[in-house]
Amino acid sequence: MVDQKHAVVDWARFAQSRTQLGPRFLRVINYFREDGGKSIAAIEASLRVRNPIGMIGPADLLKNDALQIGALSVAEIAEDIEFAARDCVEWRQAPDALLESVMALKAHFAETLTLLDREVNPLLAKRAG
């Protein structure tokens, strides 16, 4: 599970990615939002039907996308899910024990999007305050 000492977002990595990608950065954030939501939906659907194989690809994709923009907690939880699902496949077990991790992934993803939105759109922060 996620080490609570880690920040939700690594702002140094976020800034580095923002600098490197320039104007494409907002597109990457939007892809993270859309593709991440699809990955989480696929992970949840696979959990419901007890199919660990269906969890591996979406968790790996989400992990890599999250790392690119510094979304550390999402990346860590997605990696935990990916490796645990691989273990389930290897040991021919249902992924029932991953329910808590999947719920945490969904919550951290939502929190991360809120933080990213505040950072890339300061008007959102003003309206909220």
* pLDDT bucket at 127, cuts 50 / 70 / 90: low
Domain boundaries, the chain: 11-122
Q: Is 77 exposed, middle or buried (0-12, 13-18, 19+ CB in 10 A)?
A: buried
Q: What is the pTM of this model?
A: 0.90
pLDDT of residue 126: 53
Give residue 32's pLDDT: 97
Give the phi and the psi of residue 92 in degrees, each rounded to 5: 55, 50
**pLDDT tens profile 54-68:** 999 999 999 999 999
Residue pair 81/98 in contact (Cβ under 8 Å)? The answer is yes
Q: How many residues does the chain have?
A: 129
Helix (H, G, I), strand (E, B) or coil at 27: helix
Q: What is the pLDDT of residue 121?
A: 86
| Each residue's pLDDT tens digit, 17-56 | 999 999 999 999 999 999 999 999 999 999 999 999 999 9
